[in-house]
Amino acid sequence: MSSDESKNALDLVLPGASDTRQEVMTWLASLAKERRLSPKTVEAYARDLRQFLTFLTGHLGEAPSVRAILGLKPLDIRSFLAARRMETVGSRSLMRQLAALRSFARHLEREGHGTASAFAAIRTPKVDKNLPRPLSAASAVAVTDTELRSGENRKAWVLARDAAVLALLYGAGLRISEALGLQRRDAPIHGTDSITVTGKGGKMRSVPVIPAIQEAVEEYLHLCPYVLPPEGPLFVGARGGPLSPRIIQLAVEELRGALGLPDSATPHALRHSFATHLLARGGDLRGIQELLGHASLSTTQLYTKVDAARLMDAFDSAHPRARAKG
């Protein structure tokens, strides 16, 4: 089907007055050519707007013209979103749909038709935070094992480096940015039982370090071919520069295949596993909150989905890696 035929076919199924349909076609064309959105995204935006125009036809009692769309009130748009909710449409879909409507409204304004203020007045639907599913304790421990990747065409020090970073994510609950932000002088070695990390908002916290982490970092430093200055990064890339988070993400992707883990097994899932496994062994939410560096307890509760009534056991007896070394 040619582009003209596609345009004619779409025009036939679009609801709305003739001027509205014309503006929709111009808008979709600009999305594809000027903003270079993918065909699937353009198709999704077209579908979103088509649903809105269909709703307006019934809501207003006639095919909506450009003038009618510009004259809409926030209540009209909220009514549409409420109707979509009744059809069990999720927040993410509604968020995208509202983005499509706002994009079309801005198009009408750019074309000189007037101001479509109602669209900007609508709050974006809240989207539930989806945390990665925690790994089993056995899988989380396996991810930090260099032997699993021994068959890869990687230098031994690179495998040891990746294992040390992943050990910090699972064994200490660090964010990947926190682990890669450590300096050489911060290295938890020679019996060091805690490290100070800088989290979100520059907030610093002290985190216990179990022997398994110390051993992983010591092995990495023993094999690393570069001289690491005290003020420089602890973990470096293949050429000696700062290590990119993407490298660790790729390492976990390879481990997923080796272990048969789902796509939800990511570096951040190791941090989530840290919290979940501690809690399963009697960890207290308030203590886990401090270990994770969460500003509020509600964030920690989101991670763990449980009551805060449990008491905190000693860290080295609660964490499965520590148990294995005990």
Q: Any idea what the Cα angle at residue 17 is, between residues 13 and 21, rounded to 5°?
A: 55
Is 268 known to be catalytic? yes
- Give the C-alpha separation, 326 to 318, whole Å: 11
- Give the C-alpha separation, 143 to 156, whole Å: 16
- Give the C-alpha separation, 276 to 300, whole Å: 10
**123 by DSSP, 3-state: which?**
coil
Q: Report DSSP state, residue 183.
A: B
- Active-site option among 96, 256, 268, 310: 268
Is 45 known to be catalytic? no
Is 175 known to be catalytic? yes
- Active-site option among 84, 161, 175, 319: 175
Is 200 known to be catalytic? yes
- Active-site option among 271, 272, 277, 321: 271
Cα dihedral 233, 234, 237, 242 in deg (nearest 10)? -20
Cα separations in angstroms, 62 against 124, 138, 139, 146, 224: 27, 62, 59, 67, 72
Tokens, residue 168: 């910090």
- Active-site option among 200, 203, 286, 325: 200
- Active-site option among 84, 107, 294, 319: 294
Cα dihedral 316, 318, 320, 325 in deg (nearest 10)? 30
- Active-site option among 107, 277, 303, 321: 303
- Give the C-alpha separation, 221 to 226, whole Å: 9
- Cβ proximity of 167 and 212 under 8 Å: yes
Catalytic residues, by residue number, are 175, 200, 268, 271, 294, 303
